[in-house]
Each structure stands twice: as C-alpha cells, then as structure tokens.
Structure 1
Amino acid sequence: MEPPLTHVLILGGTTEARELAEVLDGRVRVTSSLAGRVAAPRLPVGEVRVGGFGGVEGMVEWVRGHGVDAVVDATHPFAERISFNAARAAGVAPVPLLALRRPGWVAGEGDDWREVGSLEEAAEALGEFGRVFLTTGRQGLAAFAHVGGVHFLVRAVDAPEPPFPDDMDILLQRGPFTLEGEREIIARHRIDAVVTKDSGGAATAPKLVAAREAGIPVVVVRRPPVPEGVEAAATVVEAAAWVQRVSGVSG
C-alpha cells in the first residue's frame, strides 16, 4: 500500500501561491487557504478552503485535524496578522513553516519615492497634493478618511465599505496592469501623487514607471518583516525545493 501523500497547506491568494500549488500538484497533497476577502477569487488547482481559521488555536486544530505536514505562508506581504498567527501555530502544531515573499520594489533613477512605515504615515504625507491615486486596496481606507483637501482615486478589486474618504472616486480593477493603462489613468485623472504598498512583483509595478514618467512622487508604505525565526524564500522555485527538502518528495 502506498504511503499517503505529504499534505502541504498553502496560505495565500497571491500569484505565487497559485503558481506553487500548480507546481506541487500531483507530487504532494495541496490545500490552498484563501481569506475570503475578495468576492470572486482566482482559484488555484488542488483542494481549496475559504475563510479564517479563528486565530492561532483554530489553525493549530485545523493543521492537526487534517494531517498537514508542512505550511507555506504565501500570503500578501502585508497580511501581517495571518503571517504571525501561522508562525505561532506552526510552532505549536508543530510543523515546518516557510514564508514565500516576492522581493520588494527598488527605486530607480528618476524615481521620487517617499517611504513611510504605515498607512497612517502615508495619509500624513499627502498635505501638499490635491489629486492622489490610492492603490493600497479597499482594506485600510479608514486611515485616509480624515484627510481633507485631497481628491482620491481609489483602485480596488471589490467596492470598499466605510469609513473612507468623502472626496473619492472608485476604480474597480484587478491586475495585472499595463504601463499604457497606468499612463492613461494618471493623465486623465490629473494625478499628482501615487500611494502604494511595497507589494513587489510585476503585476502592479507599471504604476511606478508611469509615475516616474509623469514626474510625480510615489508614497511607498514599507512592508512588515517576516516573523522572526521563519525561513523565507523569494521565488516559487525556492519554495518548491523547500517542500521537497522537508518532505523527502523527489523532484
């Protein structure tokens, strides 16, 4: 009788999470866990669960109850709470844990980036601007609700719920985005500053080039660190190799 496949839980919803599930499919048993914050998420191959775990204890119970052998945290670089819950749960369960994090963006020649540590600091940095392209998603708009004298163009996958700025237009779009499209948005809406999180990756990077070309600044929110003591990988290839190493699965 064949031994059961190694069971890998992928925490995600990101492009990297979907790509990793595809790479591992058939080699191990994969369950992808989505937070459920997007109405119509792009589903990965393999088994999928949607919704939270109910904190650290809930995640420990799920990991133990479903025979999970390893966890890959491939959530958004700013999904800080689930990342720290995963680190604590992996230690209690206990199971190996890897954080899959795409590299952050790096400013180039001609870029005018204003780095800040939080959405609240980003909001405080907007005093000199009149028309702002806010690309931080619908979560966290409350940080900008009090900002006066600024017209916001807010881009999100789903419509946001209050609190949010009074003076704003909503642009419902899902990446990846093109440079031509980002140029058109900045020009048509007369944008004089862009606000973004340092999400990294190519899907949403064209806005940075468009801002550089337009000569306007970008307020960049720095990403939180990976939880202390958690091994990290920058690519899907590295993450797949880690699964192979901790599970003994052949390549």
Structure 2
Amino acid sequence: MSVLLLGGTAEARELAAALVAAGIAVTTSLAGDVAEPRLPDGEVRVGGFGGAEGLARYLREHDISAVVDATHPFAARISANAAQACATTGVPLLRLERPGWSQRPDASGWHWVDCLDDARTAAEALGNRVFLAVGRQELGTFAGWADRYVLARVVDAPDIEVPGTWEVLRARGPFRLADELDLLASRAIDVLVTKDSGGATDAKLDAAAQLGVRVVAVRRPQPPAGVPVVETVDQALAWLARG
C-alpha cells in the first residue's frame, strides 16, 4: 500500500507516524503556507499539485493506493480537488476531520456566521477591541479596521500592511488557559473572532467564556459529497486496513 496524506494538521502528523511505524509507505503533502512547518514522519512534499488534474496525474504516476485528506477543516479547495482527482482515478479517498467546537456548552451563545465577511459585520456591532484568531491569510478581510484596537495572532508575519491600531502577535499553539486569560484581560478584549477549526487550540474559548468576551465563530464548510469522513486517527487506520 502507498498512501498519499494531505496534511498540515496535528492529526495528519499523528497518522503519518502510525503508518510509518506500521511499515506502510506514506507521503505527506504540505501546502507550503507556513514558513517552518512541523514536519511529519515519512516522505514529505511541499507545494500544490496544479489543481485536480495535477493531483490525478500524481496519483497515477506514483501508483497511490489511497488518499487521506487530513487538511485543515477550512481548506475547502484542497478537499474539493482531492474529491475530483480520486473520482477521476478511482483511488479511494477518506476525509479525516477533527470535531468542531459547536458542541461546547457555551457555543449556543456565540454569534455563528457563514463567512469572514459576515464575521466582520457581526464583530463590528459587538465591540471595539477585537482578538482576531482566523489565520494570517484571512487578515485582509479585516484590513479596514483602522478605527479600533485589533490583536491578530499568527504563526508567520502577515503579508499585508496592517493598520496602526493593530497589534500583531506571532505565536504557535497550543496555548495554556492561564496565558489566554492574561492575554485577553491585558488587552481588554471584548470580541473574539475565530473559525470553527476544532482541536486543541480552544483555550482561548475557555478564556473568553470566563471573561465574558463575545465570540463570533465562522461555521466550517461541508466536506465534498460522497466522501467518507472520520474524526480520529484510529478510525482512519481502520479504514486503511479494510482497503
């Protein structure tokens, strides 16, 4: 078996390590959006395939037995390309996607929206000191916020010129609750804008709940129709074993 793992998440790294330990050939593909990514076990390639057609060509040329899409829950374009390429080639495809935060007890009180533009509109009505936790590539949607304090936390430096009222904090999670409480309190944050990414980066949400900070959450996109979805690495391993 030869597995192509579309990675970039903690779950992808965990799955790659398990496959390598089991003696299964795995190549993890990273988009290259992060300057210094955490590299998984096994073979690694960085960069796109050239859309669905390029990915289909790669699957054929490398005799891939199965594809596991373990990309970020909001990497919709990559997931769509994978679904199209696998349908074209007949290579089995699985989506490994960690659970979101919608089942949290406090999530019913959040302001849920469908896109970043709606998140900007909602946040503008809720406060003037905003913690943006949406990722570096999404900051442009909020670049017009020159009239308020904005804390933008990113791994790599923004590729846009941010307004003078912003503070850019470069850091990589996961983060401790005590540190998140201090961060939100010290900046007097009244609104948190985030995407429903799920995973272990939820300490900011616990801090927001404790401090009464309003939360604007962007719903995650649905996976491509017809693609089986699992939530854990063990479930992904079981699927591969059946194949």
Pairwise TM-score range, normalised by the shorter structure: over 0.9
The answer to whether the 8 A contact 2:3-2:65 is kept is: yes
2:2 aligns with one of 3, 7, 15: 7
The answer to whether the 8 A contact 1:141-1:165 is kept is: no
1:22 aligns with one of 6, 17, 26: 17
The answer to whether the 8 A contact 1:32-1:46 is kept is: yes
1:38-187 alignment to 2 at 5 Å? 38-105=34-101, 106-109=103-106, 112-128=109-125, 129-162=127-160, 164-165=162-163, 167-187=165-185
With normalisation by structure 2, the TM-score equals 0.95
The answer to whether the 8 A contact 1:111-1:212 is kept is: no
Deviations 1:64-122 (A, max 9, x none): 11111100000000000000000000011120000000011123159731101011110
The answer to whether the 8 A contact 1:111-1:217 is kept is: no
Unaligned runs of 5+ in 2: none
The answer to whether the 8 A contact 1:35-1:50 is kept is: yes
1:148 Cα offset (Å): 4.7
CA distance, structure 2, for counterparts of residue 164 and residue 225 of structure 1: 31
Inter-CA distance 95–156: structure 2 relative to 1 (3 Å threshold):
same
Aligned residues: 240
Q: 2:199 maps to what in 1? A: 201
Q: 1:236 maps to what in 2? A: 233
- Write the letter of the residue equivalent to 2:240: V
SS of the counterpart of 1:134? Answer: strand
SS of the counterpart of 2:79? Answer: helix
CA distance, structure 2, for counterparts of residue 46 and residue 107 of structure 1: 35
1:151 Cα offset (Å): 1.5
Segments of 4+ in structure 1 off by > 4 A? 163-166
| Identical aligned residues as a percent | 52
- Write the letter of the residue equivalent to 2:62: H
The answer to whether the 8 A contact 1:12-1:33 is kept is: yes
CA distance, structure 1, for counterparts of residue 107 and residue 85 of structure 2: 44
CA distance, structure 1, for counterparts of residue 223 and residue 167 of structure 2: 34
Q: 2:221 maps to what in 1? A: 224
Greater helix share, 1 or 2? 2
RMSD over aligned CA atoms reads 1.4
Inter-CA distance 58–165: structure 2 relative to 1 (3 Å threshold):
farther
